[in-house]
Amino acid sequence: MAAALRGALWGCLLLCVSGIVPKPQNARINSVNFRSILLWDPPGVYKGNVSYTVQSKSNFPKQSFNNVTTNLNVTECDVSSLSVYGTYVLRVRAEWEDEHSDWAVVKFKPMADTVIGPPSVNVKSESGTLHVDFTGPAADHEHEKWSLKQYYGSWNYRILYWKKGSNKKIFHPTGSVWN
């Protein structure tokens, strides 16, 4: 344990003295309903105020890297403006004065990597009848919300219910339900 700690401290000292800026760690995407955020942890060891540059490139058609943002002082970057139909390589690097780290790289395919959030459900009882209305999840698109139906087509919801005092569950497939 002491040897491992001594080795880590020695490595940190070498990094600080040699002027190498360590790269950001644990780069990842958090994407829900196409709201996509590139996140990363700051370098383990750095000196002064570190800023970050984030770049992206599309794999189809093959492109060169383009800056998404530069001189960023936080460890996240909104990449929701990328087309949901693309396949991308995202990269982030740490910068300090005239020095910079290697790139931390993440591959991202919005249609496959986004998490679809739950629908909104409104339940109303009226004259002994239960009305259940579903509104499918939506994606923020510029200044408006677009139903995810725009991207995926329709979904089916599975409803399980039972009458009060009964243990028998009733399954009801909803068909294609979207508002």
Mean pLDDT score of the chain: 81
State yes or no: pLDDT of 19 exceeds 70.
no
State yes or no: pLDDT of 100 exceeds 80.
yes
Mean pLDDT for the stretch of residues 85-96: 94
User: Reduced to 3 states, what is the DSSP secondary structure of residue 79?
Assistant: coil
The confidence score (pLDDT) of residue 27 equals 98
Q: Is 38 exposed, middle or buried (0-12, 13-18, 19+ CB in 10 A)?
A: buried
For residues 122-140, one letter each, b for 16 or more C-beta atoms within 10 angstroms of the residue's C-beta and e for the rest, the string is eeeeeeeeeeeebebbbbe
pTM of the model: 0.74
The top-level CATH class assigned to 120-176 is mainly beta
92 compared with 61, residue with greater pLDDT: 92
Cβ contact 18:36 at 8 Å: no
pLDDT above 90 covers a percentage of the chain that reads 42
The confidence score (pLDDT) of residue 56 equals 96
pLDDT category of residue 177 using cuts at 50, 70 and 90: very low
C-alpha–C-alpha distance, residues 58 and 86, integer Å: 7
State yes or no: pLDDT of 43 exceeds 70.
yes
Question: In the chain, at which residue ranges do the beta strands (DSSP E only) sit?
Answer: 25-32, 35-41, 51-58, 66-72, 76-78, 88-96, 99-100, 104-108, 120-126, 129-135, 138-141, 144-147, 156-161, 170-176
Which residue spans of the chain are classified as CATH 2.60.40.10?
Answer: 24-113, 120-176
pLDDT category of residue 94 using cuts at 50, 70 and 90: very high
> What is 24-113's CATH number?
2.60.40.10
> Hey, what amino acid is at 80?
S
The confidence score (pLDDT) of residue 168 equals 77
Least Cα distance to 147 among 139, 155, 159 occurs for: 139
38 compared with 139, residue with greater pLDDT: 38
Query: Among 17-21, 107-111, 115-119, whose mean pLDDT is lowest?
Result: 17-21
For residues 44-78, one letter each, b for 16 or more C-beta atoms within 10 angstroms of the residue's C-beta and e for the rest, the string is ebbeeebbbbbbbebeeeeeeeeebeeebeebebe
117 compared with 72, residue with greater pLDDT: 72
